[in-house]
Amino acid sequence: MHELSVVTSIVKIAEQEVHKIKGKKVLELYLEIGKLSGVEISSFHFVWPQCISGSVLHDSLLYVEEPIGRAKCAECETEFPIEKSFDSCPKCNSPFKEILSGKELKIKKIIIK
């Protein structure tokens, strides 16, 4: 399960940041997990409680932003929403594109006590 390793990495990073400033725990955690990131958000939320138990993230508030996929066609330069990374341009049907958003997987902000 890919989501388990993602959550485990987030816990590790949060613990490092709390230790770095000699804090006690994380009050709020803001994440950005794009729709094209490969993270199944329901599985992420399923493993979250087990992974944060006993960590600096225990009892913290979690906020997850899920940017949609957006791409720009390499042929006609049309910008369009995508649900899968292999979606073609709706205007010219070209499969060649630059993905502009939706692949994000990052910690945006940590509020530490």
**CA dihedral over 49, 54, 55, 59, signed as positive or negative:** positive
- pLDDT given for residue 2 in this prediction: 87
Task: Please give, one letter per residue, the 3-state secondary structure of 92-104.
Answer: CCCCCEEEEECCC
Residues 58-96 have pLDDT tens digits of: 999 999 999 999 999 999 999 999 999 999 999 999 999
Task: List, edge to edge, every strand of the sheet that includes 26-33.
Answer: 61-65, 26-33, 105-112
Residue 1's pLDDT band (boundaries 50, 70, 90)? low
How many Cα atoms within 13 Å fall on the side-chain side of residue 49?
3
Cβ atoms of 99 and 82 closer than 8 Å: yes
Residue 110 scores a pLDDT above 60: yes
- pLDDT given for residue 83 in this prediction: 94
Q: Class assignment of domain 2-112?
A: alpha beta
**CA dihedral over 85, 91, 95, 97, signed as positive or negative:** negative
